[in-house]
Structure 1
Protein backbone atom coordinates (compact mmCIF):
# COMPACT_ATOMS: atom_id res chain seq x y z
CA UNK A 1 0.00 0.00 0.00
CA UNK A 2 1.07 3.65 0.06
CA UNK A 3 2.30 3.94 3.66
CA UNK A 4 4.34 1.43 5.65
CA UNK A 5 3.51 2.92 9.06
CA UNK A 6 0.36 4.01 10.88
CA UNK A 7 -0.29 7.55 12.13
CA UNK A 8 0.07 7.90 15.89
CA UNK A 9 -2.15 10.94 16.41
CA UNK A 10 -4.63 13.23 14.67
CA UNK A 11 -1.95 15.52 13.24
CA UNK A 12 -0.13 12.59 11.67
CA UNK A 13 -3.36 11.21 10.22
CA UNK A 14 -4.06 14.58 8.62
CA UNK A 15 -0.48 14.79 7.33
CA UNK A 16 -0.61 11.26 5.88
CA UNK A 17 -3.79 12.07 3.97
CA UNK A 18 -2.35 15.35 2.69
CA UNK A 19 0.89 13.67 1.67
CA UNK A 20 -0.95 10.97 -0.23
CA UNK A 21 -3.01 13.41 -2.27
CA UNK A 22 0.02 15.62 -2.86
CA UNK A 23 2.01 12.65 -4.15
CA UNK A 24 -0.93 11.78 -6.40
CA UNK A 25 -0.28 15.13 -8.09
CA UNK A 26 -3.34 16.84 -6.65
CA UNK A 27 -3.30 20.46 -5.50
CA UNK A 28 -3.54 19.97 -1.75
CA UNK A 29 -3.79 22.11 1.36
CA UNK A 30 -3.91 21.03 4.99
CA UNK A 31 -6.13 22.95 7.45
CA UNK A 32 -7.63 25.14 4.74
CA UNK A 33 -10.32 27.64 5.72
CA UNK A 34 -13.12 27.67 3.14
CA UNK A 35 -16.12 29.93 2.61
CA UNK A 36 -19.52 28.31 3.13
CA UNK A 37 -23.08 29.56 2.79
CA UNK A 38 -23.24 30.27 6.52
CA UNK A 39 -19.70 31.40 7.29
CA UNK A 40 -16.27 29.81 7.26
CA UNK A 41 -15.04 26.32 8.09
CA UNK A 42 -11.57 24.85 8.52
CA UNK A 43 -11.14 21.68 6.48
CA UNK A 44 -8.59 19.09 7.56
CA UNK A 45 -7.50 18.35 3.99
CA UNK A 46 -8.61 20.17 0.86
CA UNK A 47 -7.50 18.73 -2.45
CA UNK A 48 -8.32 18.95 -6.16
CA UNK A 49 -7.39 16.60 -8.99
CA UNK A 50 -6.52 19.32 -11.49
CA UNK A 51 -5.08 16.84 -14.01
CA UNK A 52 -8.31 14.93 -14.54
CA UNK A 53 -10.95 15.91 -17.06
CA UNK A 54 -13.50 17.35 -14.66
CA UNK A 55 -11.10 18.45 -11.87
CA UNK A 56 -13.04 17.18 -8.83
CA UNK A 57 -12.71 18.98 -5.51
CA UNK A 58 -12.37 16.74 -2.46
CA UNK A 59 -12.80 17.63 1.22
CA UNK A 60 -11.46 15.31 3.91
CA UNK A 61 -12.26 15.18 7.61
CA UNK A 62 -9.78 13.18 9.72
CA UNK A 63 -11.03 11.58 12.94
CA UNK A 64 -8.43 10.04 15.24
CA UNK A 65 -11.04 9.13 17.82
CA UNK A 66 -11.05 6.14 20.15
CA UNK A 67 -14.68 5.41 19.31
CA UNK A 68 -16.66 4.91 16.11
CA UNK A 69 -17.96 8.02 14.35
CA UNK A 70 -21.63 8.88 14.93
CA UNK A 71 -24.24 9.72 12.32
CA UNK A 72 -24.45 13.29 13.67
CA UNK A 73 -20.87 13.83 12.51
CA UNK A 74 -21.79 12.53 9.07
CA UNK A 75 -24.79 14.86 8.78
CA UNK A 76 -22.68 17.84 9.81
CA UNK A 77 -19.92 17.10 7.30
CA UNK A 78 -22.45 16.40 4.55
CA UNK A 79 -23.76 19.94 5.02
CA UNK A 80 -20.24 21.36 4.74
CA UNK A 81 -19.53 19.44 1.54
CA UNK A 82 -22.85 20.51 0.02
CA UNK A 83 -22.49 24.17 1.01
CA UNK A 84 -18.99 24.34 -0.44
CA UNK A 85 -20.01 22.50 -3.61
CA UNK A 86 -17.30 19.83 -3.36
CA UNK A 87 -17.57 16.76 -5.55
CA UNK A 88 -16.63 14.27 -2.84
CA UNK A 89 -16.19 14.27 0.93
CA UNK A 90 -14.20 11.66 2.84
CA UNK A 91 -14.33 11.02 6.56
CA UNK A 92 -11.24 9.06 7.56
CA UNK A 93 -11.71 7.31 10.88
CA UNK A 94 -9.22 5.53 13.12
CA UNK A 95 -11.90 3.39 14.75
CA UNK A 96 -14.65 2.94 12.22
CA UNK A 97 -18.23 4.18 12.19
CA UNK A 98 -21.47 3.51 14.00
CA UNK A 99 -24.14 1.65 12.07
CA UNK A 100 -26.23 4.79 11.74
CA UNK A 101 -23.30 6.57 10.12
CA UNK A 102 -23.37 4.31 7.07
CA UNK A 103 -27.08 4.88 6.71
CA UNK A 104 -26.53 8.65 6.92
CA UNK A 105 -23.96 8.47 4.12
CA UNK A 106 -26.09 6.38 1.74
CA UNK A 107 -27.01 8.08 -1.54
CA UNK A 108 -24.69 11.01 -0.78
CA UNK A 109 -21.25 12.04 -1.97
CA UNK A 110 -19.80 11.28 1.46
CA UNK A 111 -17.49 8.26 1.76
CA UNK A 112 -16.64 6.66 5.10
CA UNK A 113 -13.21 5.05 5.13
CA UNK A 114 -10.20 4.03 7.16
CA UNK A 115 -6.80 5.34 6.09
CA UNK A 116 -5.98 1.99 4.47
CA UNK A 117 -9.25 2.06 2.52
CA UNK A 118 -8.44 5.57 1.30
CA UNK A 119 -4.97 4.42 0.27
CA UNK A 120 -6.48 1.51 -1.63
CA UNK A 121 -8.84 3.81 -3.52
CA UNK A 122 -6.03 6.06 -4.71
CA UNK A 123 -3.21 3.52 -4.98
CA UNK A 124 -3.19 3.36 -8.79
CA UNK A 125 -3.20 7.15 -9.16
CA UNK A 126 -0.41 7.38 -6.59
CA UNK A 127 1.79 4.86 -8.43
CA UNK A 128 1.32 6.55 -11.78
CA UNK A 129 2.06 9.98 -10.32
CA UNK A 130 5.24 8.73 -8.65
CA UNK A 131 6.41 7.10 -11.88
CA UNK A 132 5.73 10.32 -13.78
CA UNK A 133 7.69 12.30 -11.19
CA UNK A 134 10.79 10.11 -11.38
CA UNK A 135 10.79 9.11 -15.04
CA UNK A 136 13.09 12.03 -16.02
CA UNK A 137 15.76 10.73 -13.63
CA UNK A 138 15.55 7.23 -15.11
CA UNK A 139 15.84 8.73 -18.61
CA UNK A 140 18.93 10.64 -17.49
CA UNK A 141 20.66 7.36 -16.56
CA UNK A 142 19.52 5.43 -19.64
CA UNK A 143 22.59 6.17 -21.86
CA UNK A 144 24.95 4.79 -19.20
CA UNK A 145 23.52 1.31 -19.01
CA UNK A 146 21.67 0.73 -22.31
CA UNK A 147 23.58 -1.58 -24.67
CA UNK A 148 25.88 -0.64 -26.36
CA UNK A 149 25.66 2.49 -24.21
CA UNK A 150 27.75 5.61 -24.30
CA UNK A 151 31.55 5.75 -24.15
CA UNK A 152 33.78 8.06 -22.13
CA UNK A 153 34.41 11.38 -23.83
CA UNK A 154 38.18 10.84 -23.56
CA UNK A 155 37.91 7.80 -25.83
CA UNK A 156 39.10 5.38 -23.16
CA UNK A 157 37.37 2.35 -21.74
CA UNK A 158 35.52 1.70 -18.52
CA UNK A 159 35.55 -1.21 -16.12
CA UNK A 160 32.57 -3.31 -17.24
CA UNK A 161 32.20 -5.14 -13.92
CA UNK A 162 32.20 -1.82 -12.08
CA UNK A 163 29.59 -0.46 -14.47
CA UNK A 164 27.41 -3.48 -13.71
CA UNK A 165 27.90 -3.02 -9.97
CA UNK A 166 26.80 0.63 -10.13
CA UNK A 167 23.85 -0.35 -12.30
CA UNK A 168 22.81 -2.92 -9.70
CA UNK A 169 23.15 -0.40 -6.88
CA UNK A 170 20.64 1.92 -8.54
CA UNK A 171 18.29 -0.68 -9.99
CA UNK A 172 15.12 1.06 -8.69
CA UNK A 173 15.92 4.16 -10.73
CA UNK A 174 16.97 2.23 -13.83
CA UNK A 175 13.83 0.10 -13.84
CA UNK A 176 11.41 2.98 -14.08
CA UNK A 177 10.28 2.92 -17.70
CA UNK A 178 7.45 3.52 -20.17
CA UNK A 179 5.58 0.31 -19.25
CA UNK A 180 5.24 1.63 -15.69
CA UNK A 181 3.06 4.44 -17.03
CA UNK A 182 0.43 2.01 -18.27
CA UNK A 183 -2.78 1.68 -16.27
CA UNK A 184 -1.71 -1.58 -14.65
CA UNK A 185 1.99 -0.78 -14.74
CA UNK A 186 4.61 -0.61 -11.99
CA UNK A 187 4.57 -4.03 -10.41
CA UNK A 188 7.69 -4.96 -8.49
CA UNK A 189 8.70 -8.21 -6.82
CA UNK A 190 9.98 -7.77 -3.28
CA UNK A 191 12.29 -8.14 -1.49
CA UNK A 192 14.78 -6.36 -3.75
CA UNK A 193 18.40 -6.45 -2.58
CA UNK A 194 20.87 -3.78 -3.68
CA UNK A 195 24.61 -3.34 -3.12
CA UNK A 196 25.49 -0.18 -1.18
CA UNK A 197 28.52 1.65 -2.56
CA UNK A 198 30.77 4.32 -1.12
CA UNK A 199 32.10 7.25 -3.15
CA UNK A 200 34.95 5.10 -4.49
CA UNK A 201 32.61 2.35 -5.74
CA UNK A 202 33.46 -0.07 -2.97
CA UNK A 203 30.58 -2.22 -1.76
CA UNK A 204 30.10 -1.44 1.92
CA UNK A 205 26.79 -3.17 2.55
CA UNK A 206 23.47 -4.37 1.19
CA UNK A 207 20.06 -2.70 1.23
CA UNK A 208 16.76 -4.57 1.12
CA UNK A 209 13.65 -2.91 -0.31
CA UNK A 210 10.32 -4.50 0.59
CA UNK A 211 7.56 -2.03 -0.34
CA UNK A 212 6.62 0.53 -2.96
CA UNK A 213 7.11 3.29 -0.36
CA UNK A 214 10.68 2.13 0.28
CA UNK A 215 11.21 1.87 -3.47
CA UNK A 216 10.23 5.46 -4.23
CA UNK A 217 11.95 6.76 -1.10
CA UNK A 218 15.16 5.17 -2.40
CA UNK A 219 14.70 6.83 -5.79
CA UNK A 220 14.14 10.22 -4.15
CA UNK A 221 17.21 9.87 -1.93
CA UNK A 222 19.54 8.53 -4.64
CA UNK A 223 18.42 10.07 -7.94
CA UNK A 224 21.24 12.62 -7.99
CA UNK A 225 23.87 10.40 -6.38
CA UNK A 226 23.31 7.74 -9.06
CA UNK A 227 23.87 10.29 -11.82
CA UNK A 228 27.03 11.61 -10.17
CA UNK A 229 28.48 8.12 -9.75
CA UNK A 230 27.87 7.22 -13.37
CA UNK A 231 29.44 10.51 -14.45
CA UNK A 232 32.47 9.75 -12.29
CA UNK A 233 32.82 6.27 -13.79
CA UNK A 234 32.66 7.72 -17.30
CA UNK A 235 35.12 10.47 -16.35
CA UNK A 236 32.73 13.28 -17.23
Structure 2
Protein backbone atom coordinates (compact mmCIF):
# COMPACT_ATOMS: atom_id res chain seq x y z
CA UNK A 1 0.00 0.00 0.00
CA UNK A 2 1.43 3.36 -1.05
CA UNK A 3 2.23 5.87 1.67
CA UNK A 4 2.93 8.89 -0.55
CA UNK A 5 2.75 10.04 -4.19
CA UNK A 6 6.12 8.56 -5.12
CA UNK A 7 5.16 5.16 -3.73
CA UNK A 8 1.85 5.37 -5.60
CA UNK A 9 3.68 6.18 -8.83
CA UNK A 10 6.04 3.22 -8.40
CA UNK A 11 3.16 0.94 -7.46
CA UNK A 12 1.39 1.90 -10.69
CA UNK A 13 4.51 1.27 -12.78
CA UNK A 14 5.05 -2.10 -11.12
CA UNK A 15 1.48 -3.08 -11.88
CA UNK A 16 1.87 -2.44 -15.61
CA UNK A 17 5.18 -4.28 -15.64
CA UNK A 18 3.45 -7.27 -14.07
CA UNK A 19 1.25 -7.39 -17.19
CA UNK A 20 4.28 -7.71 -19.43
CA UNK A 21 4.36 -4.04 -20.44
CA UNK A 22 7.24 -1.59 -20.20
CA UNK A 23 6.68 1.18 -17.66
CA UNK A 24 9.00 4.13 -17.03
CA UNK A 25 8.46 6.72 -14.29
CA UNK A 26 9.20 10.47 -14.45
CA UNK A 27 9.45 10.51 -18.23
CA UNK A 28 9.50 13.62 -20.43
CA UNK A 29 7.97 13.25 -23.89
CA UNK A 30 7.77 15.69 -26.79
CA UNK A 31 4.42 16.76 -28.17
CA UNK A 32 3.56 18.80 -31.20
CA UNK A 33 3.46 22.04 -29.22
CA UNK A 34 5.52 21.39 -26.10
CA UNK A 35 7.19 18.83 -23.83
CA UNK A 36 5.24 16.98 -21.14
CA UNK A 37 6.42 15.51 -17.83
CA UNK A 38 4.73 12.15 -17.39
CA UNK A 39 4.28 10.20 -14.14
CA UNK A 40 4.35 6.78 -15.83
CA UNK A 41 4.88 6.05 -19.53
CA UNK A 42 3.61 2.59 -20.50
CA UNK A 43 4.62 1.00 -23.80
CA UNK A 44 4.03 -2.30 -25.56
CA UNK A 45 6.04 -3.66 -28.49
CA UNK A 46 4.84 -6.78 -30.29
CA UNK A 47 5.91 -7.72 -33.79
CA UNK A 48 6.48 -4.12 -34.81
CA UNK A 49 3.22 -2.78 -33.37
CA UNK A 50 3.78 -0.10 -30.74
CA UNK A 51 1.24 1.07 -28.18
CA UNK A 52 1.86 3.95 -25.77
CA UNK A 53 -0.14 5.02 -22.72
CA UNK A 54 0.33 8.01 -20.42
CA UNK A 55 -0.52 7.38 -16.76
CA UNK A 56 -1.01 10.26 -14.34
CA UNK A 57 -1.06 9.42 -10.62
CA UNK A 58 -3.08 11.58 -8.20
CA UNK A 59 -2.32 10.54 -4.61
CA UNK A 60 -4.88 12.90 -3.11
CA UNK A 61 -7.39 12.86 -0.27
CA UNK A 62 -10.11 14.51 -2.38
CA UNK A 63 -11.75 13.49 -5.68
CA UNK A 64 -10.06 14.59 -8.90
CA UNK A 65 -11.78 17.40 -10.79
CA UNK A 66 -12.79 17.81 -14.43
CA UNK A 67 -9.91 20.22 -15.05
CA UNK A 68 -7.34 17.47 -14.55
CA UNK A 69 -9.13 15.19 -16.99
CA UNK A 70 -9.22 17.96 -19.58
CA UNK A 71 -5.52 18.62 -19.01
CA UNK A 72 -4.68 14.97 -19.60
CA UNK A 73 -6.83 14.93 -22.73
CA UNK A 74 -4.77 17.84 -24.06
CA UNK A 75 -1.51 16.01 -23.34
CA UNK A 76 -2.78 12.86 -25.04
CA UNK A 77 -3.85 14.84 -28.10
CA UNK A 78 -0.61 16.83 -28.29
CA UNK A 79 1.66 13.83 -27.83
CA UNK A 80 -0.30 11.46 -30.06
CA UNK A 81 -0.25 8.53 -27.61
CA UNK A 82 -2.93 5.85 -27.72
CA UNK A 83 -4.46 6.34 -24.28
CA UNK A 84 -4.31 8.40 -21.13
CA UNK A 85 -5.07 6.91 -17.72
CA UNK A 86 -5.77 9.06 -14.66
CA UNK A 87 -5.32 7.12 -11.41
CA UNK A 88 -6.83 8.17 -8.10
CA UNK A 89 -7.83 6.11 -5.06
CA UNK A 90 -9.98 8.98 -3.74
CA UNK A 91 -12.39 9.00 -6.67
CA UNK A 92 -13.45 11.54 -9.29
CA UNK A 93 -15.96 14.35 -9.38
CA UNK A 94 -18.96 13.74 -11.64
CA UNK A 95 -17.70 16.33 -14.12
CA UNK A 96 -14.39 14.50 -14.37
CA UNK A 97 -16.11 11.23 -15.21
CA UNK A 98 -18.27 12.94 -17.84
CA UNK A 99 -15.22 14.61 -19.39
CA UNK A 100 -13.56 11.21 -19.80
CA UNK A 101 -16.57 9.41 -21.27
CA UNK A 102 -16.24 8.44 -24.94
CA UNK A 103 -12.63 9.62 -25.08
CA UNK A 104 -9.28 7.84 -25.02
CA UNK A 105 -8.77 9.00 -21.43
CA UNK A 106 -9.73 6.57 -18.66
CA UNK A 107 -10.37 7.60 -15.05
CA UNK A 108 -9.97 4.78 -12.55
CA UNK A 109 -8.20 3.60 -9.42
CA UNK A 110 -5.29 1.22 -9.27
CA UNK A 111 -7.54 -1.26 -7.47
CA UNK A 112 -10.19 -1.10 -10.23
CA UNK A 113 -7.57 -1.19 -12.95
CA UNK A 114 -6.15 -4.43 -11.60
CA UNK A 115 -9.54 -6.04 -12.23
CA UNK A 116 -10.08 -4.69 -15.76
CA UNK A 117 -6.60 -4.27 -17.21
CA UNK A 118 -5.92 -7.91 -18.01
CA UNK A 119 -8.78 -8.02 -20.52
CA UNK A 120 -7.75 -4.59 -21.84
CA UNK A 121 -4.22 -5.85 -22.48
CA UNK A 122 -5.50 -9.03 -24.11
CA UNK A 123 -7.86 -7.02 -26.32
CA UNK A 124 -4.98 -4.79 -27.34
CA UNK A 125 -2.87 -7.83 -28.20
CA UNK A 126 -5.71 -9.30 -30.25
CA UNK A 127 -5.99 -6.08 -32.25
CA UNK A 128 -2.27 -6.37 -32.95
CA UNK A 129 -2.74 -9.96 -34.08
CA UNK A 130 -5.58 -8.84 -36.35
CA UNK A 131 -3.19 -6.40 -38.03
CA UNK A 132 -0.48 -9.06 -38.25
CA UNK A 133 -2.90 -11.47 -39.93
CA UNK A 134 -3.73 -8.81 -42.52
CA UNK A 135 -0.05 -8.20 -43.25
CA UNK A 136 0.59 -11.94 -43.51
CA UNK A 137 -2.28 -12.27 -45.96
CA UNK A 138 -0.73 -9.65 -48.25
CA UNK A 139 2.70 -11.25 -47.95
CA UNK A 140 1.31 -14.73 -48.62
CA UNK A 141 -0.50 -13.82 -51.83
CA UNK A 142 2.51 -11.82 -53.08
CA UNK A 143 4.44 -15.10 -53.24
CA UNK A 144 3.97 -17.28 -56.30
CA UNK A 145 2.15 -20.60 -55.97
CA UNK A 146 5.32 -22.48 -56.90
CA UNK A 147 7.34 -20.73 -54.18
CA UNK A 148 4.60 -21.28 -51.61
CA UNK A 149 4.69 -25.01 -52.37
CA UNK A 150 8.48 -25.15 -52.40
CA UNK A 151 8.76 -23.54 -48.96
CA UNK A 152 6.00 -25.40 -47.15
CA UNK A 153 3.42 -22.65 -47.20
CA UNK A 154 0.86 -24.78 -49.03
CA UNK A 155 0.53 -28.48 -49.80
CA UNK A 156 0.32 -30.05 -53.20
CA UNK A 157 -3.20 -30.34 -54.57
CA UNK A 158 -4.98 -33.25 -52.91
CA UNK A 159 -2.32 -33.67 -50.24
CA UNK A 160 -2.42 -32.74 -46.57
CA UNK A 161 0.07 -30.42 -44.97
CA UNK A 162 0.60 -26.89 -43.69
CA UNK A 163 -1.44 -24.19 -45.43
CA UNK A 164 -0.82 -20.51 -44.88
CA UNK A 165 -4.14 -19.64 -46.51
CA UNK A 166 -6.01 -21.93 -44.12
CA UNK A 167 -4.16 -20.45 -41.15
CA UNK A 168 -5.09 -16.91 -42.22
CA UNK A 169 -8.72 -17.88 -42.75
CA UNK A 170 -8.87 -19.66 -39.41
CA UNK A 171 -7.28 -16.75 -37.51
CA UNK A 172 -9.74 -14.30 -39.05
CA UNK A 173 -12.69 -16.53 -38.18
CA UNK A 174 -11.59 -16.86 -34.54
CA UNK A 175 -10.91 -13.12 -34.24
CA UNK A 176 -14.28 -12.21 -35.75
CA UNK A 177 -16.07 -14.41 -33.23
CA UNK A 178 -13.92 -13.12 -30.34
CA UNK A 179 -14.51 -9.46 -31.17
CA UNK A 180 -18.25 -10.05 -30.89
CA UNK A 181 -17.64 -10.85 -27.22
CA UNK A 182 -20.07 -13.75 -27.03
CA UNK A 183 -18.45 -16.67 -25.19
CA UNK A 184 -18.18 -19.59 -25.39
CA UNK A 185 -18.06 -20.17 -29.13
CA UNK A 186 -17.03 -23.18 -31.21
CA UNK A 187 -14.81 -23.27 -34.29
CA UNK A 188 -14.84 -26.23 -36.66
CA UNK A 189 -11.89 -27.75 -38.51
CA UNK A 190 -9.27 -27.24 -35.80
CA UNK A 191 -6.66 -29.93 -35.37
CA UNK A 192 -6.17 -31.76 -32.11
CA UNK A 193 -3.42 -29.25 -31.30
CA UNK A 194 -5.96 -26.48 -30.73
CA UNK A 195 -9.20 -26.17 -28.77
CA UNK A 196 -12.50 -26.36 -30.63
CA UNK A 197 -14.32 -24.27 -28.00
CA UNK A 198 -13.18 -20.85 -26.83
CA UNK A 199 -14.46 -19.52 -23.51
CA UNK A 200 -12.29 -16.41 -23.03
CA UNK A 201 -10.19 -13.76 -24.76
CA UNK A 202 -7.14 -15.20 -23.05
CA UNK A 203 -7.65 -18.59 -24.67
CA UNK A 204 -8.09 -16.89 -28.05
CA UNK A 205 -4.82 -15.00 -27.58
CA UNK A 206 -2.92 -18.07 -26.40
CA UNK A 207 -4.17 -20.00 -29.43
CA UNK A 208 -3.60 -17.38 -32.12
CA UNK A 209 -0.21 -16.05 -31.01
CA UNK A 210 1.74 -19.24 -31.88
CA UNK A 211 -0.30 -19.74 -35.06
CA UNK A 212 0.50 -16.31 -36.50
CA UNK A 213 4.11 -16.42 -35.26
CA UNK A 214 4.64 -19.73 -37.09
CA UNK A 215 3.18 -18.24 -40.27
CA UNK A 216 5.37 -15.14 -39.97
CA UNK A 217 8.46 -17.34 -39.57
CA UNK A 218 7.57 -19.42 -42.63
CA UNK A 219 6.95 -16.30 -44.70
CA UNK A 220 10.27 -14.82 -43.60
CA UNK A 221 12.17 -17.97 -44.63
CA UNK A 222 10.40 -18.09 -47.99
CA UNK A 223 10.92 -14.40 -48.74
CA UNK A 224 14.59 -14.56 -47.79
CA UNK A 225 15.11 -17.60 -49.98
CA UNK A 226 13.53 -15.83 -52.94
CA UNK A 227 15.79 -12.80 -52.39
CA UNK A 228 18.87 -15.03 -52.28
CA UNK A 229 18.10 -16.70 -55.62
Partner Cα distance (1:112, 1:53) in 2: 28
Indicate conservation of the 8 Å contact 1:21/1:28, yes or no. Answer: yes
Richer in helix (by share): 2
Aligned partner of 1:152 in structure 2 is: none
- Tell me, which stretches of 5 or more residues in structure 2 are unaligned? 123-200, 204-229
How far did residue 52 of structure 1 move?
7.1
Deviation string 1:166-192 (CA, Å, 9 cap, x unpaired) is xxxxxxxxxxxxxxxx926xxxxxxxx
How much is the aligned-residue C-alpha RMSD, in angstroms?
A: 2.4
Q: For 1:120, which of 91, 115, 124 is the aligned residue?
A: 115
Aligned partner of 2:46 in structure 1 is: 51
Indicate conservation of the 8 Å contact 1:45/1:59, yes or no. Answer: yes
Indicate conservation of the 8 Å contact 1:30/1:46, yes or no. Answer: yes
Indicate conservation of the 8 Å contact 1:26/1:51, yes or no. Answer: no
- Counting only pairs closer than 5 Å after superposition, residues 170-189 of structure 1 correspond to structure 2 as 183=202
Partner Cα distance (1:107, 1:53) in 2: 28
If the length of structure 1 is used for normalisation, what is the TM-score?
0.49
If the length of structure 2 is used for normalisation, what is the TM-score?
0.50
Say yes or no: does 1:86 pair with 2:87.
no
Partner Cα distance (1:14, 1:91) in 2: 11
Say yes or no: does 1:95 pair with 2:87.
no
Q: Pick 1 or 2: higher relative contact order, CA cutoff 8 A, min separation 6.
A: 1
How far did residue 12 of structure 1 move?
1.1
Aligned length: 126
- Counting only pairs closer than 5 Å after superposition, residues 119-138 of structure 1 correspond to structure 2 as 119-123=114-118
Indicate conservation of the 8 Å contact 1:58/1:90, yes or no. Answer: yes
Deviation string 1:51-90 (CA, Å, 9 cap, x unpaired) is 3774321100000011000001110110001111111110
Q: For 1:63, which of 58, 81, 86 is the aligned residue?
A: 58
Q: For 2:68, which of 73, 79, 87 is the aligned residue?
A: 73
Indicate conservation of the 8 Å contact 1:46/1:58, yes or no. Answer: yes
- Tell me, which stretches of 5 or more residues in structure 1 are unaligned? 1-5, 127-181, 185-236
Partner Cα distance (1:104, 1:59) in 2: 17
